Structure 1
Amino acid sequence: MGRIDDTIDRIAAIVTAHNRLVLLVMLVATAGVLMGIPQIEAEQEEAFGDELETQTEVGEAAEYVDDNYADEDDEPTATSNVYVRDDTGNALSQAALLEALEYQQEVTESDAVADSLEEDGVVGPPNAIAMQLAGDPDADVDEQIEALEAADDDEVAAVVERTFTGGEATQAFLPASYESGTAEAESFRMQFEFEVDEAPENQLASPPEDAQRTLFEAAEERDDPDVFTLGEFAQEPWIEQQQSDTVWLILPPALVLVLAVLAFAYRDVVDVLIGFVGVVVSVLWMFGILGWLGIPAGMTIIIGPVLIVALSIDFGLHVFMRYREHRGPEDGIREAMSRSTGSVAVAFLLVALTAAIGFLSNLTSPLSMIRELGIGITLGVLSAFVIFVTLVPALKIGADGLLERFGFDRRKTALGKGRYLRPVLSSGVHVARRAAPVVVVVALVAGTAGGLAYADIDRQGFQQDIEVADWKTELPGPMAWEAADTEYQQNLAYEQEQYQGDHEFTSSTRFLVDGDPTDPETLEAVADGHAAADDSDVTYSQGGEVAVLSPLSVMAETAATDEEFAEVYHGADTTGDGVPNQDVDEVYDALFDAAPEQAEQVIERTDDGEYRTLLVHVPVQQGLDVGEQGDAMHDIADEMEDGSAASVTPVGVATLNNAELAVLADDIMETMLIALAGVLVALAAIYRFERDSALLGALTVVPIALVVGLVIGSMSLFGVPLTFVTALLMSITIGLGIDYNIHVSDRFAQALERGADPATALYTAVTGTGGALLGSALTSGAAFATLLLHPGPQIRSFGAIVVLALALSFLLSVFVLPSLLYLWATRVAEWDAAESHETRPSVADND
């Protein structure tokens, strides 16, 4: 017996001999730890974009565009949009425009809005039309209302027709369904511009909260025409409904499945209750320690409890099942619990140490929320270890002692020792005795093949294309998914379908054309970009036209109003297709003379007059899946590069997210592999110290490495993309899987030390420990499987990966690991293989 075993046995003896004192100490400790929960910081202090410094081609192009094209605003501002929609009439009618101006009058009289509103900070169709009717571009809202009231319908229609004939104002304030130059539209939007103290880097600033509340509440009072906002106050009912839908859709089936599996595994209500106490206390300890240490909880609030619950259920099953194995007909409660706790606590300690290595490897991440998640889960794992070697055994002793005094027999059969499960679990041992090399080779080939599929997995920034199946909305009572029917969700869907984003970064993708701008072929590439944008399904069109901003569009617009430039422009276009094919540098010179502000938006010119790059702005639809949008933008770039010497890089929300977060996902996967290497070294060292075999520790890690490969292969096979979230969740769930292998290998080593031959030792380990592993896998898998009901793709991917990893971890621990252990024992540890083959194990080791 090793030195760690001796120490653990002494601790187990103290816990079981003084269980009441242990309960008192743990009660006081828990009360102290819980005092840290109110001190938890739930939010991240830094913005996501501020921390993500991943260098990609798209990211470098974005920096270049910002440095050489972007206008620097002196003061940061924030925009709040207010929409006016008239489904039965015309939102550009005199009555609807008056309603909008009266809304503006009401909200601007409020201090909450007026105190932070920019000068001339309200713009929209009502203002543009009323100012023209008033004949004064500086008319205030009262004068605008007066002018609009004095006009008749025909005057208003005439002003609308000549105001919105295309261009920036039409695109910014009117929906995609609007036909330029007409007097009717189903809706329009107004923009309120607010001063803010500072704008976070790489994020859009938010208007003041009081101002948003005022805009929302005033809009709620108007329904003819309908006035609505999409800020945080409009969003609140949708968030509440979504949370309620998630709870009612996921929780009932999850509870039913978990309780059914636990009832099957424990077949005892008392053990279920004690196990749940340990689970709850473990989670509370995690959050309490986070609070005391001042570590922001962040993602730990969401992911931490799920993982710690799964691990705690596993610990509980091992505690109770090993206790049932060790309590024979003549054994007392304390003696059996002392032996069983000492037996499983070594494996618990190894699980805690290896899990800590895996989770703490995330400290290398550039994102604080990932680093904090790694710390939080590590604290949860360590908490579970302490709880399940102290509090839970002490509670079990007290409960069983009390019940037996009232005449209840507390001796139960361990899961895996029954006549139905025993043959199934032991089949891995029988296969190991007869064909261990074959099993190992097949597993290695399958795991390696799966790992090679890593290069083919689709990379995405994140998944956001939520689709709710009809049957989910038709479920009875509160289980029906109703979030999609909320007023906010319907308004959001309409806004995303009909309007561009209200910020350059979100409303369009910028294509950096890096080549010789004076080469006619480069301008031909720009023309190809126009054509590709017109044909794309993800670009934003208004009245059937995609308003691409480029050197060619600026040239055409300038030529329409400037005769001198038009002469140079048309003279350089000998083919008449609108693309200059000679003297391009002279065309640029003339354009900068005629329209310098417009030209510098799309053409980079140095101080000495050299032309370096071009920029093309392509409007994109809102609300699309970022993977779909990013792929479409890269397709347009490919069309532009085809036949041209220029290099074209698309820079937008989708392409930046996909590029940077995909690289981050790869980094997380690399970190996981490094963590596996660290776990291998740690287990090899511990097993060398405790079991006199570093190789045994290394072999324990092999199945979990194969799980990684098989999960990767399954993701490729079933089309689950590698995203920032799925990579993180996969790395975390692997930390749970190592638990299964440690329990089997450590139980096997213990049986060998007590004199059993390899086959008998394997039989003891797999049928004894395997039963608890099966219960753990079924319980955790059942809980996570219910996440597949959620309409959110990120949540479904989370559930799928966890279930897959847990199932594979269990299967490999009881059907592949025994072959590895058998080969080690018979080929390396020099056990007598012939004698082992003659042994027919039929009973487990009950020491």
Structure 2
Amino acid sequence: MGGAFDKIVDFVTTHNRIAILLMLALTGVMAVGMTDLQTQSEAGDADAFNDTEIMQKGEYIQDNYDQPGNENVTVSSVYVRDENGNALSKESLIGSLRYQQSVQENDSVSTALATDEGSVSVATIIAKRAAEDPNASLATQRETLESMDEDEVRRVVSATLSEDSPALRLLPNDYEPGTPSAESTRILFRFDQTVGGEDDDSTVAAAQKALYDEAESRDSPEYFTLGQNAFADYSEHQFTNTAELILPVALALILAVLAFSYRDLVDVIIGFTGVILSLVWMFGILGWLKVSAGMTLVIGPVLIVGLSIDFGLHVFQRYREERGEDEGIRRPMARSLRAVAVALALVTVTAAIGFLSNVTAAWPSIRNLSIGITMGVVSAFVIFVTIVPALKVSADGLLERFGIDRHKRALGRGSIVGPFLASGATLARKAAPVVIVLALVAGTAGAATWTSLDRQSFQQQTDEVAEWKQDLPGPLGWDQAAYEKRSSYVDDQYREADESQRRQSQILIEGDVTAPKALERVHESQQAARDTDVVFEQGGTAPFVSPLSVMQEAAARDDEFAELYHESDTDGDGVPDRNVEAVYDALYETAPDQAGLVIERTDGEYRSLRVIVPIDSAATFDDQADAMYDVADVADESDGVSATAVGSATINDTISFQIAENILETIVLALGAVFVVLTIIYRLATGSASLGALTVVPIVLVTALVIGGMYVLDVPLTLLTALLISLVIGLGIDYSIHISDRFAHELERGRDAYDAIRTAVTGTGGALLGSTLTSVGAFATLILHPSPQFQSFGTLVVLALLTSFVVSVFVLPSMLYVWAERIHTGPVRSEATEGPAATQD
């Protein structure tokens, strides 16, 4: 293996131009693979979570209950808003009719409409009344309103929009019935999902696109939709915002730190070239393997950029250390590559183990992420031991032929940085046991906070974007998207056009549901839900759908059922307390469709009840989950009756927490695998398995400290942060391996323990410092992002990088010193490394 790598090193440093051409050709192949890159995320594997109670109850509801609404009809809304005028003025009403005419002339819309009527709006209702023709066409409606003066239109508006008018659902919640003015209205379109076939929703999608395009073409008053097309533009807007706010700052910080680390423009350019090529290779491999990029598009580049910069710094800094004053370029580059080869290879292998430990995850997107990042790590290794050193040899050779001296001092050799890094070696010699004990205490304390971490399904942005971020000069400033303002307005002012589409949760009640106590629990659960902050209310009431609400509606329509219903309610509280089964039977006879929504009857037996709880769209998923758990607890208080909260929030909460808990198993598995690999490789490469085992300790320590840092900084445990904790192993392994390997290398060269540690922390530690500062600067910029998920991402990675550096440079040396003094008994390597010893400080 070593012989093969020696041949590669010799080829790269001797035939550098050929190596560059070969690697560029391979890069072209990878670029072709990028054209087949699959960017969509795959759906989760629901079967992996079927053993959870909530998932099972959710499937039970799907299998045994009718679902509200018409599953074959999609209702789309178009909003007309005139903030400074009147959306019920003659001009605005005529404008609405023009909009409806225009879109219905579009073939996509006319084909997909579910009814001949097509659409309904306040304008159509008012115009039909004015025309005294309920079947008047849109053209006739327009002509009627155009022939009327403003006063006549106002009178018709006031007369039409009375308290009992169905048109009120097309107006804001704060509209006062009978008034001739409103800030906004909405137009409803009903589309038939079966037009293009059962599995083809392209027809409806095309119709919705036509609605969106026509709305965007109108300025005053404002027309807008909130469907998938608007959201797609919003997502693109958010990406642009993120790029313009984050990337310039991150790039500036990276360049500033690299300028400090390299102090050489040529090396910065070559290093950046390697970073770009690593990303091309990563995505090219994924394209060729047909592995969906998904989350890798977001998380992969930032991790691989950090790792690539680290690889480059180690290669370049070691080259600077190795090159003597009167020496050429090729031989010291070959020595430096051989010197860092073991460390880079170990980093690649163990980082891959850390990342690949997530291939056992239930979600395909996480499995694909682990594969994607692993391919990125391997790509970075290949790039930085081939084309990057070849470019360095070529560039330095060319510049020196023009008389430009390319001898550069390594970062750790400076008068300021050198003593700072060397303090780790000084601590090791003077107080190694104290350092180790303090580190272990801190790590234990950090690990102990695991059970106390705030756990959330995922973080939602609830605060406005800080004004200073919006006030930055363009294009840096965060531009608040119109979609956000519009969505917030609609949530505040309108009910769902189709109540079945409203965000909702469910309480499933099982057991002896024909007993009066079951309906009493339904009543109590509704009361408990009303007392929460997450339930949607309108006019002081919450539109629950439950056995009781269906009974009350049936009683209002059917006198025979009403008589039985009232007879069964002996105390007049609206809850039948006797003859419950007979009431169920009568309800199924009177309103079978509505009864099937809330009462399960299988083989003539009543087995469960369901309460559908409307949820306020402003409620966070975590608040919704907590509230629904509390409501279920209220309904679950009686013997013989059990209740389960089932909904998007509780299901997501359960899945996310299960994944988060599985991360702990993943971490243990990854650490165990890294331990085995390092002990074996160090035994083969250095003759010391104990050194490999010792190298794993800092990784465990870093993981524990990161957990403690999350607790101190109030970073919650979510699906994303739990995943990133497992990736910490892949990041942290880099630092400790480089220090351990350099220490072993210097021991073999004949240095004593202290000198070997000092050389390791000032030489390799200098590269680690540059890498840490660069990556921390890049990731810290994510904290500028308004999204709490981005902020947590940046915070967690910065924590991992900083703790990895501190532990490797200031704690690991003490462990190595004790190992060398107490355990190490002989040579560390079986063969000497070619080349002279590193220059003394």
TM value normalised by structure 2: 0.90
Question: What secondary structure sits across from 2:644 in the alignment?
Answer: strand
Q: 1:114–1:36: structure 2 CA closer, same or farther, 3 Å change rule?
A: same
For residues 662 and 469 of structure 1, the distance between their equivalents in structure 2, rounded to whole angstroms, comes to 31
| 2:752 aligned with 1:757 | yes
Match of 1:682 among 677, 693, 700: 677
Provide the rounded CA distance (Å) in 2 between the counterparts of 1:227 and 1:275.
50
User: C-alpha distance in 1, partners of 2:25/2:217?
Assistant: 54
Report the equivalent of 1:838.
Answer: none
Are 1:478 and 2:475 counterparts? Answer: yes
Matches within 5 A, 1:421-460: 421-460=417-456
Give the aligned partner of residue 8 of structure 2.
11
For residues 20-73 of structure 1, the C-alpha deviation after alignment (integer angstroms, 9 at most, x for no partner) is 3322322332233323222322224x4347687454322222111111113399
Equivalent residue in structure 1 for 2:32, among 22, 31, 35: 35
Task: Tell me what 1:380 maps to.
Answer: 376
* Cα distance in 1 for residues equivalent to 2:204 and 2:277: 40
Which residue in 2 is equivalent to 1:119? 115
- SS for the counterpart of 1:115 is helix
Shift of residue 170 of structure 1? 6.5
Q: Unpaired segments of 5 or more residues in structure 2?
A: 828-836
1:213-252 matched pairs, under 5 angstroms: 213-222=209-218, 226-235=222-231, 238-252=234-248
Match in the other structure for 2:187? 190
Displacement of 1:272 = 1.2
Q: CA deviation at 1:408?
A: 2.6
2:834 matched residue in structure 1:
none
The alpha-carbon distance between structure 1 residues 367 and 91, as it changes in their structure 2 partners (threshold 3 A), is: same
Match of 2:162 in 1: 161
Listed as ranges, the matches of 1:348-367 within 5 Å are 348-367=344-363
User: Which letter does structure 1 place at the counterpart of 2:647?
Assistant: G
- Whichever residue aligns with residue 447 of structure 1, its letter is G
Q: Does the 8 A contact of 2:507 with 2:610 survive in 1? A: yes
Partner of 1:276: 272
CA 1:421–1:155 in 2, change beyond 3 Å: closer, same or farther? closer
1:492 positional shift: 1.7
CA deviations over 1:606-648 (Å, ceiling 9, x no partner)? 222x222211112112244322332233233334435676332
Cα distance in structure 2, aligned partners of 1:679 and 1:246: 36
- CA shift at 1:539, angstroms? 1.8
Q: Which moved more, 1:59-68 or 1:805-814?
A: 59-68
Residue 784 of structure 1 deviates from its aligned partner by 0.5
Local SS of the residue matching 1:118:
coil
Alpha-carbon contact 2:300-2:373 (below 8 Å) kept:
yes
Moved more, 741-750 or 72-81: 72-81
Residue identity over aligned pairs, in percent, reads 53
Residues 845, 677 of structure 1: alpha-carbon distance in 2 compared, 3 angstrom cutoff: farther
CA–CA separation in structure 2 for the residues paired with 1:120 and 1:457? 57
Q: Which residue of 1 aligns with 2:494?
A: 499
Q: CA deviation at 1:315?
A: 0.7
CA distance in 1, matches of 2:168, 2:184: 12
| Worse overlay, 795-804 or 553-562 | 553-562
* Structure 1 Cα separation of the partners of residues 280 and 240 of structure 2: 23
Cα deviations by residue, 1:648-668 (Å, 9 ceiling, x for unpaired): 222222222222233223334
Provide the rounded CA distance (Å) in 1 between the counterparts of 2:71 and 2:475: 48
Q: Distance in 2 between matches of 1:118 and 1:49?
A: 34
> Given that residues 459 and 658 in structure 1 are in contact (C-alpha distance below 8 angstroms), is that contact kept between their aligned partners in structure 2?
no
Q: After superposing the two structures, state which structure 1 stretch, 539-548 or 35-44, moved more.
A: 35-44
User: What residue in structure 2 maps to residue 565 of structure 1?
Assistant: 561
1:353 offset after TM fit, Å? 1.0
Residues 541-597 of structure 1: per-residue CA shift (max 9 Å, x gap): 222322222222222223333333333323333332222333333332333333332
Counterpart Cα distance in 2 of 1:303 and 1:754: 40
SS at match of 1:514: strand
Partner AA of 1:571 in structure 2: E
Paired positions, count:
825
Per-residue deviation at 1:811?
0.8
Distance in structure 2 (CA, Å) of the matches to 1:799 and 1:228: 35
CA displacement at 1:799 relative to structure 2: 0.7
Q: In structure 1, give the amino acid aligned to 2:812.
A: L
Aligned counterpart, 1:779? 774
Q: Decide whether aligned partners of structure 1 residues 704 and 170 sit closer, same or farther in structure 2, where only a CA change above 3 A counts.
A: farther
CA distance in 2, matches of 1:290, 1:520: 60
Alignment match, 1:291: 287
Secondary structure of 1:288's aligned partner: helix
Contact 1:286 1:380 in 2 (8 A): yes
C-alpha deviations, 1:329-371, integer Å up to 9, x for none?
A: 2332222111111001111111111122222223222332222
Q: Which residue of 2 aligns with 1:619?
A: 614
State the AA in 2 paired with 1:823. V
Q: Residue in 1 aligned with 2:64?
A: 68
Question: Which secondary structure state, in structure 1, belongs to the residue aligned with residue 312 of structure 2?
Answer: helix
SS where residue 36 of structure 1 aligns?
A: helix
Residue 574 (structure 1) aligned with residue 575 (structure 2): no
Cα distance in 2 between the residues matched to 1:673 and 1:133: 74
| Matched AA of 1:751 | E
Task: Give the letter aligned to residue 403 of structure 2.
Answer: G
Aligned counterparts of 2:710 and 2:208: Cα–Cα separation in 1: 43
Give the alignment partner of residue 302 of structure 2, picking from 280, 303, 306: 306
> CA 1:162/1:497 → structure 2, altered by over 3 Å: closer, same or farther?
closer
The match for 1:489 is: 484
Kept in 2: contact 1:304–1:373 (CA 8 A): yes
SS at match of 2:224: strand
- Distance 1:205-1:519 versus aligned 2 partners, 3 A rule: farther
Aligned amino acid, residue 36 of structure 1: G
Amino acid paired to 1:646: V
Q: Encode CA deviations 1:401-434: one digit per residue, 9 max, x unaligned.
A: 2222333332222111223222222222222233
1:746 to 741, 746, 752: 741
Spell out the pairing of 1:31-180 with structure 2 (5 A cutoff): 31-44=28-41, 46-48=42-44, 53=49, 55-71=51-67, 76-87=72-83, 99-120=95-116, 122=118, 124=120, 126=122, 157-161=158-162, 163-164=164-165, 173-178=170-175
Corresponding residue to 1:20 among 2, 17, 20 = 17
Shift of 1:740: 0.6
- Of 402-411 and 676-685, more deviation after overlay is shown by 402-411
Q: List runs of 5+ in structure 1 lacking aligned partners.
A: 833-842
Which residue in the other structure is 2:334 paired with?
338
Verify the 8 A CA contact 2:155 2:180 in the aligned structure 1: no
Range with bigger deviation, 435-444 or 750-759: 435-444
Q: Once the 2 structures are TM-superposed, how far is the Cα of residue 233 of structure 1 from its aligned partner?
A: 4.0
Alignment equivalent of 2:727, drawn from 710, 726, 732? 732
CA RMSD of aligned residues (A): 3.4
Structure 1 residues 591 and 159 mapped into 2: Cα distance closer, same or farther (>3 Å)? farther
Q: 2:716, 2:704 → 1: CA distance?
A: 15
Tell me the equivalent position of 2:794: 799
Instruction: Map Cα deviations across residues 227-279 of structure 1 (whole Å, 9 max, x no partner).
Output: 32123444465444433322221122212211221111111112111111111
Matching residue within 665, 668, 673 for 2:660: 665
Structure 2 SS opposite 1:35: helix
Aligned residues of 1:121 and 1:192 also touching (Cα < 8 A): no
Q: What is aligned with 1:691?
A: 686
CA gap of 1:233–1:611, structure 2 versus 1, over 3 A, is closer
Residues 439 and 198 (structure 1 numbering): CA distance in 2 closer, same or farther, change over 3 Å? farther
Instruction: Give the C-alpha shift of residue 10 in structure 1.
Output: 4.3
Checking the alignment, whether the CA contact within 8 Å between 1:497 and 1:621 is kept in structure 2 is no
The 8 Å contact of residues 249 and 481 in structure 1, kept in 2 or not, is answered as yes
State the Cα distance separating 1:722 from its structure 2 match.
1.9
Q: Aligned partners of 1:673, 1:185: CA distance in 2, in Å? A: 61
**Structure 2 vs 1, CA of residues 266 and 762 (structure 1 numbering), >3 Å: closer, same or farther?**
same
Distance 2:470 2:569 in 1: 59
TM superposition shift of 1:723: 1.9
- Give the residue type in structure 2 aligned to 1:651: V
- Shift of residue 311, structure 1, vs aligned partner: 0.7
* Structure 2 CA distance for aligned equivalents of residues 301 and 140 of structure 1: 50
